[in-house]
């Protein structure tokens, strides 16, 4: 039989297309590991985002497990739908022997385009390893990213290739803004008014400091020119700002290191103030869903403007690479200045219209499952169905059965209760995040270990899990304590549709 090569080639081509298509994310999933379109873990922490030519560009700290340096680089990613991100390369890498060397601190990168010079300017917090220098730095580039132009370096991994495109940004220098100190960094460009840009930062931890500043950049966006407002003695960090069309809102976290706390918001009609009193943006005891503010994504769609809160769900300094992202839509009231970040296990966003779609999942209550050993079901006033399953440790197990699956990777949200933590905003306080750890087994698959960071009494948090069930209704999930230890209480699980577009 004669092989028809063109048919074979067409089949291979169609197969490749199908593989690529099958991997398109359908949802934004707060707290889940996020993979770029090459299949690598997305590493863009404490980031900033900017829209350009119909695409979003996300700049963030590279914290990959294989890069051990304190400062290894700033990564850039691009996306036209906010769901699927292409790696655009290193915007900036460390430079030996300079103030942005591998043993220095370069954090919270934010990029902005300057019309006057037709230049992209990448701003960041610059410091030494003990955070004693408290400066800002800038790098500039004629292009927002370097991917199509620069040659790349290939790094081989066991199962994949990581391409590192050296960034196009040229390091310009670091400085002390207005002759003062600068800690953390946020950037706001007032595109709805005069297009001016502002540096948002704290002036540090010295006794005379603890203030939060809004300072106007000069016309080339390469320096800070004038103090516009100072929040006196608020002792906050991780600032990010947006303009709603009526009011400016600034979000900031308290200073508790990598441990999350309750992010606050202030609002004003003018950047010079008067600014409102502060208020919390999320349910107390969730510590802003265990995240710290970093940027706001403004989606100005044809039907509505949607503003997404974007925060970092940090792990610890030792395992930063496992930190994830919490992006959630915000609702706010321009009459009162109230702003809320509401939890969704997952959602999709239509960047053309600006609308958010929250899919329905199938809920399975823990108390309806099979409970054995020392585990038991008990009343829980804040739980769905009014009950949860507790004391999951030792021989105590919970098994939820008859779960409907699709045979494809699906998101499953585990609603759990871990009240061990003591939330608080004061840095001197007892702020430990006390995670319990569960061992979760899906059907007869190898067990998964799930860290369950604490909330507070009665606070039910939800964590996404990527699960591949068998197609049909014959699936089960069981919960044990990791190494027989105490796992979190389980309220329910919610099974959603497929992770990827069909």
Ligand X SMILES: *[C@@H]1O[C@H](CO)[C@@H](O)[C@H](O)[C@H]1NC(C)=O
Query: Applying CB under 6 A, which residues contact ligand X?
Result: 33, 35, 96, 128-130, 132-133, 141-143, 146, 149-150, 168, 218-220, 222-223, 315-316, 373-374, 394-395, 409, 433, 435, 451, 453, 466, 468, 499
As measured in angstroms, the least distance from the Cβ of 393 to ligand X is 9
Q: 411: closest CA among 21, 30, 19?
A: 30
Which helix or strand (DSSP H or E) is residue 250 part of?
Answer: strand 248-254
Q: Within 10 Å of residue 81's Cβ, how many Cβ atoms?
A: 16
As measured in angstroms, the least distance from the Cβ of 422 to ligand X is 13
3-class DSSP assignment, residue 264: strand
Tell how strand 472-481 and strand 436-442 pair up: antiparallel
Distance CA 462, CA 32 (A): 11
User: Which residue in this structure is represented by tokens 């308290």?
Assistant: 254
For residues 104 and 267, which CB has a smaller minimum distance to ligand X in the complex? 104
As measured in angstroms, the least distance from the Cβ of 33 to ligand X is 6
For residues 7 and 318, which CB has a smaller minimum distance to ligand X in the complex? 318
Distance CA 57, CA 205 (A): 32
Distance CA 260, CA 277 (A): 22
Q: How many CA atoms lie within 13 A of 152 on its CB side?
A: 18
As measured in angstroms, the least distance from the Cβ of 23 to ligand X is 8
For residues 219 and 443, which CB has a smaller minimum distance to ligand X in the complex? 219
DSSP string covering 359-425: ---EEEEGGGSEEETT-EEEE-TTSGGGEEEE---TT-EEEEEEEEE-SSEEEEEEEEE-TT----S
**Residues with Cβ < 8 Å from 56, sequence gap 6 or more?**
49, 50, 78, 79, 80, 82, 297
User: Which residue in this structure is represented by tokens 């604490």?
Assistant: 454
As measured in angstroms, the least distance from the Cβ of 327 to ligand X is 15
For residues 143 and 443, which CB has a smaller minimum distance to ligand X in the complex? 143
For residues 294 and 452, which CB has a smaller minimum distance to ligand X in the complex? 452
For residues 356 and 442, which CB has a smaller minimum distance to ligand X in the complex? 442
For residues 333 and 378, which CB has a smaller minimum distance to ligand X in the complex? 378
Measured at CB, which residue is nearest to ligand X? 223
**Contact indicator for 84, 72 with CB cutoff of 8 Å:** no
As measured in angstroms, the least distance from the Cβ of 372 to ligand X is 6
Distance CA 48, CA 59 (A): 5
As measured in angstroms, the least distance from the Cβ of 161 to ligand X is 16
For residues 249 and 469, which CB has a smaller minimum distance to ligand X in the complex? 469
Length of the chain in terms of residues written: 502
Q: Which residues of 399-431 are buried (b: 16+ CB within 10 A; e: fewer)?
A: ebeebebeeeebbbbbbbbbbbbebbbeeeeeb
**Residues with Cβ < 8 Å from 208, sequence gap 6 or more?**
none
As measured in angstroms, the least distance from the Cβ of 106 to ligand X is 14
Edge to edge, the sheet with strand 212-217 lists 183-189, 197-202, 212-217, 224-231
Instruction: Name the β-bridge partners of 377.
Output: 389
For residues 120 and 248, which CB has a smaller minimum distance to ligand X in the complex? 120
As measured in angstroms, the least distance from the Cβ of 219 to ligand X is 5
3-class DSSP assignment, residue 142: coil
For residues 31 and 337, which CB has a smaller minimum distance to ligand X in the complex? 31
As measured in angstroms, the least distance from the Cβ of 3 to ligand X is 32
């Amino acid at each position: 039989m004669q092989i028809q090569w063109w048919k074979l080639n067409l089949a291979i081509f169609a197969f490749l297309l199908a593989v690529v298509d099958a991997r398109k994310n359908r949802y934004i999933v707060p707290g889940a590991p996020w993979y770029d379109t090459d299949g690598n873990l997305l590493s863009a922490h404490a980031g900033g985002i900017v829209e350009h030519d119909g695409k979003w560009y996300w700049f963030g700290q590279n914290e990959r497990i294989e890069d051990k340096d304190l400062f290894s680089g700033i990564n850039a990613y691009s996306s036209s739908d906010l769901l699927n991100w292409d790696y655009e390369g290193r915007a900036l890498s460390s430079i030996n022997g300079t103030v942005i060397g591998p043993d220095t601190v370069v954090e919270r990168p934010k990029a902005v385009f300057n019309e006057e010079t037709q230049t992209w300017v990448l701003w960041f917090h610059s410091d030494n390893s003990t955070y004693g220098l408290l400066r800002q730095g800038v790098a500039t580039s004629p292009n927002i990213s370097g991917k199509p132009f620069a040659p790349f370096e290939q790094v081989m991994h066991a199962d994949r290739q990581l391409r590192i495109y050296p960034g196009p940004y040229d390091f310009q220098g670091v400085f002390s803004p207005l002759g003062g100190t600068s800690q953390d960094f946020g950037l706001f460009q007032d595109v709805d008014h005069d297009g001016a840009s502002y540096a948002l930062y704290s002036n540090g931890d010295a006794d005379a400091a603890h203030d939060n500043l809004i300072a106007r950049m000069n016309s080339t966006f390469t320096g800070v020119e004038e103090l516009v407002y100072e929040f006196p003695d608020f002792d906050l960090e991780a600032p990010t700002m947006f303009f709603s069309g009526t009011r400016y809102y600034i979000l900031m976290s308290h200073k508790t290191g990598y441990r999350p706390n309750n992010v606050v918001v202030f609002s004003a009609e003018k950047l010079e103030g008067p600014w409102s009193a502060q208020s919390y943006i999320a349910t107390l005891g969730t510590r802003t869903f265990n995240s710290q503010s970093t940027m706001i994504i403004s989606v100005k769609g044809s039907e509505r403007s949607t503003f997404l809160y974007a925060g970092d769900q940090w792990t610890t300094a030792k395992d930063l690479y496992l930190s994830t992202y919490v992006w959630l839509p915000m609702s706010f009231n321009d009459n009162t200045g109230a702003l809320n970040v509401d939890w969704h296990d997952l959602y999709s966003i239509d960047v053309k219209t600006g609308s958010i779609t929250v899919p329905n999942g199938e809920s399975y209550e823990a108390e309806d499952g099979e409970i054995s050993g020392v585990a038991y079901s008990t009343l829980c006033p804040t739980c769905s169905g009014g009950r949860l399953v507790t004391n999951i440790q030792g021989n105590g197990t919970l098994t939820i059965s008859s779960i409907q699956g699709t045979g494809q990777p699906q998101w499953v949200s585990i609603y759990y209760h871990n009240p061990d933590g003591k939330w608080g905003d004061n840095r001197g306080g007892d702020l430990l995040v006390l995670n319990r750890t569960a061992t979760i087994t899906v059907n007869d698959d190898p067990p998964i270990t799930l860290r369950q960071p604490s909330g507070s009494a009665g606070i039910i948090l939800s964590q996404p899990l990527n699960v591949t069930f068998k197609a049909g209704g014959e699936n089960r999930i069981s919960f044990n304590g990791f190494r027989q230890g105490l796992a979190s209480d389980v309220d329910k699980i919610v099974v959603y549709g497929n992770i990827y577009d069909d």
